[in-house]
Structure 1
Amino acid sequence: MRILMIGPDAKAKGGMATVIANFKQYFNSENHDIRYLATWKEGSLLTRMKATVVSVLQIKSRIRRENIDIVHVHMAQDGSFFRKALLILQAKKECAVVLHIHASQFDVFYQKSHPRVQKYIRYILGKPDKVVVLSEEWARFYNELTEVPVSVIENAVEMPAVNKYNPDARNVIMFGRIGERKGSYDVLKIAAAVGQRFPDVRFYLYGDGELEQVSTKLEELHLENVILGGWVDAATKETILENAVLHILPSYHEGLPMAILETMAYGIPNLSTAVGGIPQAIQHAKNGILIEAGNTAKLEAEIIQFLGDKTMRKQYSEAAFTTIKNRFSMKQYQQKWEKCYVNMEGIT
Structure 2
Amino acid sequence: MRVLIAGPSLHAISGVSTHVNLLLAAPWPDVSDDALTLTHFQVGSEGRNEGPAARVARLLLSPWQLAACLVARRIDILHLNTSLDPKPYWRDAAYLGVARLLGRRVVLQIHGGRLPHELFAGRPWSAGLLRRVLRAADTVVALGQQEWRALRDFAPQARVELIPHAVAAVPAEAMAARSMAASELQLLFLGRLDAAKGLYELLDAVDLLVRGGRQMRLVIAGDGPEEAGLRSRIADLKLQPRVELAGARFGVDKQTLLSQAHVFVLPSYSEGLPYALLEAMAAGVAPVVSSVGAVPDVVGYGEHGLLVAPRNIGQLVYALARLHDDRGLLARLGAAARARIAERYGLERFARSFARVYRQAGRPSRRRGDKPTIGPTASDPRV
User: Which residue of structure 2 aligns with residue 228 of structure 1?
Assistant: 245
State the 1:321 CA deviation.
Answer: 0.8
User: Which residue of structure 1 aligns with residue 199 of structure 2?
Assistant: 184
Question: 2:196 is paired with a residue of what secondary structure?
Answer: coil
State the 1:297 CA deviation.
Answer: 1.8
User: Which residue of structure 1 aligns with residue 168 of structure 2?
Assistant: 158
Residue identity in the other structure for 2:298: A
User: Which residue of structure 2 aligns with residue 268 of structure 1?
Assistant: 285
Question: 1:121 is paired with a residue of what secondary structure?
Answer: helix
Residue identity in the other structure for 1:45: E
Report Cα offsets for 1:156-208 as digits up to 9, x if no partner: 11112326432436420112233342221221221123224565421122222
Change in CA separation of 1:59 and 1:5 when aligned onto 2, cut-off 3 Å? same
| Matches for 1:140-151 after TM superposition, within 5 Å | 140-146=149-155, 147-151=157-161
Between the aligned partners of 1:333 and 1:198, the Cα distance in structure 2 is 44
Structure of greater relative contact order (alpha carbons < 8 Å, 6+ residues apart): 2
Decide which moves more: 159-168 or 50-59.
Answer: 50-59
Change in CA separation of 1:297 and 1:101 when aligned onto 2, cut-off 3 Å? same
Residue identity in the other structure for 1:159: A
Identity of aligned residues (%): 23
Report Cα offsets for 1:258-281 as digits up to 9, x if no partner: 110011111111011221100111
Decide which moves more: 280-289 or 27-36.
Answer: 27-36
Residue identity in the other structure for 2:335: E
Change in CA separation of 1:132 and 1:315 when aligned onto 2, cut-off 3 Å? same
User: Which residue of structure 2 aligns with residue 98 of structure 1?
Assistant: 107
Question: 1:103 is paired with a residue of what secondary structure?
Answer: strand
User: Which residue of structure 1 aligns with residue 274 of structure 2?
Assistant: 257
Change in CA separation of 1:69 and 1:43 when aligned onto 2, cut-off 3 Å? closer
Is residue 3–residue 79 contact of structure 2 (8 Å, CA) maintained in 1? yes
Between the aligned partners of 1:263 and 1:302, the Cα distance in structure 2 is 17
| Matches for 1:39-188 after TM superposition, within 5 Å | 39-40=43-44, 42-46=47-51, 55-76=62-83, 77-93=85-101, 94-105=103-114, 110-111=119-120, 116-146=125-155, 147-162=157-172, 164-165=174-175, 166-168=178-180, 170-188=185-203
Residue identity in the other structure for 1:260: L
State the 1:117 CA deviation.
Answer: 4.1
Decide which moves more: 68-77 or 27-36.
Answer: 27-36
Change in CA separation of 1:323 and 1:49 when aligned onto 2, cut-off 3 Å? farther
State the 1:10 CA deviation.
Answer: 1.5
Residue identity in the other structure for 1:97: V
User: Which residue of structure 2 aligns with residue 36 of structure 1?
Assistant: 40
Change in CA separation of 1:6 and 1:35 when aligned onto 2, cut-off 3 Å? same
Root-mean-square deviation (CA, aligned residues, Å) is 2.5
Residue identity in the other structure for 2:98: Q
State the 1:58 CA deviation.
Answer: 3.2
Is residue 164–residue 242 contact of structure 1 (8 Å, CA) maintained in 2? yes
Between the aligned partners of 1:272 and 1:309, the Cα distance in structure 2 is 18
Between the aligned partners of 2:107 and 2:37, the Cα distance in structure 1 is 15
Between the aligned partners of 1:345 and 1:182, the Cα distance in structure 2 is 38
State the 1:33 CA deviation.
Answer: 1.9
- Is 1:26 aligned to 2:26, yes or no? yes
Matched positions, count = 348
- Is 1:247 aligned to 2:264, yes or no? yes
Is residue 219–residue 244 contact of structure 2 (8 Å, CA) maintained in 1? yes
Between the aligned partners of 2:113 and 2:213, the Cα distance in structure 1 is 33
Provide the TM-score with structure 2 as the length reference.
0.82
Question: 2:39 is paired with a residue of what secondary structure?
Answer: strand
Change in CA separation of 1:346 and 1:107 when aligned onto 2, cut-off 3 Å? closer
For structure 1, the 5+ residue unaligned runs are none
Provide the TM-score with structure 1 as the length reference.
0.90
Between the aligned partners of 2:200 and 2:221, the Cα distance in structure 1 is 14
Report Cα offsets for 1:45-81 as digits up to 9, x if no partner: 2566666556422333333343322211111223222
Between the aligned partners of 2:159 and 2:166, the Cα distance in structure 1 is 22
State the 1:345 CA deviation.
Answer: 2.6
- Is 1:212 aligned to 2:221, yes or no? no
Is residue 72–residue 97 contact of structure 1 (8 Å, CA) maintained in 2? yes
